[in-house]
A = this chain, B = another copy of it.
Amino acid sequence: MMIGVLGPKGSYSEKAAGQWLAEIFPGETASIHSESCRDPVLHYCDDIQDVFSFLREGPVDIGLVPVENSIEGSVGVTLDMLLEHDVTIIGETVVAIEHCLLSKGRKEDIRIILSHPQGLAQCRHFLKENFRGAELRTTGSTSHAAKLATEFEEMAAIASRESAQTYGLNILVSNIQDRKHNHTRFLIMVRSDEASAGYPYRSYEDRTYKTSIIVYLDRDRPGALYEILGEFARRKINLTRIESRPSKKTLGDYLFYIDLEGRTSDDIIKEAIYNVESKVGMLKMLGSYPASEPV
């Protein structure tokens, strides 16, 4: 089983993969670095688009991507890829994020700061107050930033504590995100044509499930979103998230990404989604999967 994650070694995605595996194989010591065919192995990808491409074309069997952060919100590229690719979500996991400023050099020498765009955005206040004139460079992941920061003493990366160890960097400042509590939610996906087996190996009767859909409303129909939400509210289905994303056709035209509590095997969910489908321009089912424990 090969799991595609943002690389290189030391990324938050790697942590998320380990955490998710420990959840689905409780008690087993599943090594994600094993080379054996039976055991899960990580495949490090350069960026989020690549996780989706390698899932479609191989060699990846399972893709894991960040979708939402508690400070900076949605990861736009992940939302876009969920629409474009034939994938099914089979799980989610929430990882505590503690960003550190890592470098080979000293704080006063830092001129260049590297991170994933989300990492830079989550530490906006810190950067503004402490490194106003610094040059900001984006990388495909925070661990890639850490790897690059080994090259020059005037460079620092915003990345995890683990990355400092992996790449032999000093932690100049720890916990630098704008809010102390910082969590990122990751999605675990398979190709839709292989999703029929469902959540790896078994169904979890004892767990709360979530179902994720994307809907595109017909434009110029006032109250359309209200009507859709009514199908859920009327059945007391709780929505855990509703997020708009541009349709990219024209300004003011949106898709809605909706997460709701329940699974498509529940009659009430099936019925609500059936009714919603008849009222919208497009509905894409992204999957039903066990919700992560509340943080």
Contact (Cβ within 8 A) B73 A250: no
- SS class, residues of chain A in contact with chain B: mixed
**Is A35's beta carbon under 8 Å from chain B?**
no
Provided the pairs A70-B250, A76-B72 are in contact, do residues A233 and B243 lie with their beta carbons within 8 angstroms? no
In the complex, which of the residues A179, A252, A253, A295 has the most CB atoms of chain B within 10 Å of its own CB atom?
A: A252
A115-129 near B? 1/0 per residue, CB < 8 Å: 001001100100010
A92 to B: closest C-beta gap in Å: 11
Work out how many copies of this chain go into the complex: 2
Provided the pairs A70-B246, A94-B251, A185-B251 are in contact, do residues A229 and B240 lie with their beta carbons within 8 angstroms? no
Contact (Cβ within 8 A) B251 A183: yes
- Chain A interface, number of residues (Cβ within 8 angstroms): 52
Q: Which of A175-210 contact B (CB under 8 A)?
A: 178-179, 181, 183, 185
**Is A56's beta carbon under 8 Å from chain B?**
no
Contact (Cβ within 8 A) B70 A248: yes
**Is A27's beta carbon under 8 Å from chain B?**
no
A164-177 near B? 1/0 per residue, CB < 8 Å: 00000000000000
Contact (Cβ within 8 A) A241 B254: yes
**Is A223's beta carbon under 8 Å from chain B?**
yes
**Is A58's beta carbon under 8 Å from chain B?**
no
**Is A137's beta carbon under 8 Å from chain B?**
yes
**Is A39's beta carbon under 8 Å from chain B?**
no
Q: Which of A73-100 contact B (CB under 8 A)?
A: 73, 76-77, 94
**Is A59's beta carbon under 8 Å from chain B?**
no
Residue ID in chain B nearest A294 by CB atoms: B252
List 12 A–B pairs whose Cβ atoms lie within 8 Å, in order of A's numbering.
A71-B248, A73-B76, A77-B124, A117-B117, A136-B139, A185-B251, A225-B229, A226-B226, A226-B230, A229-B229, A240-B252, A241-B254
Known: A185-B251, A240-B252. 14 other contacts (CB 8 A): A70-B253, A73-B76, A73-B246, A120-B138, A135-B137, A137-B137, A181-B249, A225-B229, A225-B239, A226-B230, A242-B244, A244-B244, A251-B295, A252-B294
